[in-house]
Amino acid sequence: MHLDRITVDPHRMGGLPCIRNLRVTVATLLGQLAAGRTHEDLLSDYPYLETDDITAALEFAAARVSERELAVHSA
């Protein structure tokens, strides 16, 4: 897992999950991938990113969509 590459700082990018404290959000990468951009496109557009950063964004998204909140009922 590459989740250590995902950082959340309330003072950076409004607290959105970012890549390695950079001003690139996970959502930005996911949106571009969803729009058909390739890993190579992203690495060219953002030369300071690494392949593991893209993998981390995908792993983070997969982990987040599998989370769910359960209501706690007291007896």
pLDDT digits (tens, 9 = 90+) for 13-42: 999 999 999 999 999 999 999 999 999 999
Q: Is the pLDDT of residue 69 over 90?
A: no
CA angle 25, 6, 41 (to 5 degrees): 50
Reported for 24-27, long-range contacts at CB under 8 A and 24+ positions apart, including other chains, are: 24/49, 24/53, 26/57, 26/60, 26/61
Q: Which residue has the tokens 């001003």?
A: 23
Options 3.40.640.10, 1.10.10.10, 3.40.50.410, 3.40.50.720; which CATH number does 3-65 get?
1.10.10.10
Higher pLDDT, 2 or 19: 19
- The residue count of the chain comes to 75
Quote the pLDDT of residue 75: 66
Look at 31 and 1; give whichever has higher pLDDT.
31
Q: Measure CA of the first residue to CA of the last residue in the chain; give whole Å.
A: 39
- Calpha distance 7→16 (Å, rounded): 8
